[in-house]
Amino acid sequence: QVQLVESGGGSVQAGGSLRLSCAASGPTYSTYCMGWFRQAPGKEREGVATFDRDGSTDYADSAKGRFTISQDNAKNTLYLQMNSLKPEDTAMYYCAAAPGVSCYFTKYAGLGTYQYWGQGTQVTVSS
């Protein structure tokens, strides 16, 4: 069983930055697709960024150029650096893991591919 715990959320003014962390316990990240997702009130959960088993990354159009996903294998921690935050970034942010598959696969298979989810960390961006 994999446990994921997010941290680093908070309140920030538009244009500010936050770095989210996802600490994982259990099997190594190296065999998983890891992703960050977010869900705003009244909206469906959406993908923000992924970090694949081979180290490749992918971003939602809304995140490109502003967010950076990275992974520290030694610490078993996934990060999401968020810069130039906008009010529309306000959401609960979740870390998730899809064991045994590439993120390329999850992109087409959908959210159900992610077997493990954290409890979320709230990000609020004020204007």
Per-residue confidence in pLDDT tens, the chain, 127 aa: 789 999 999 999 999 999 999 999 986 666 789 999 999 999 999 999 999 988 999 999 999 999 999 999 888 899 999 999 999 999 999 999 999 899 999 999 989 999 999 999 999 999 9
Helix (H, G, I), strand (E, B) or coil at 38: strand
Answer yes or no: are the C-beta atoms of 37 and 94 closer than 8 Å. Answer: yes
DSSP string, 68-126: EEEEETTTTEEEEEE-S--GGG-EEEEEEEEETS-HHHHHHH-GGG--EE---EEEEEE
**What tens digit of pLDDT does each residue of 76-93 get?**
899 999 999 999 999 999
DSSP H helix total and E strand total for the chain: 1, 11
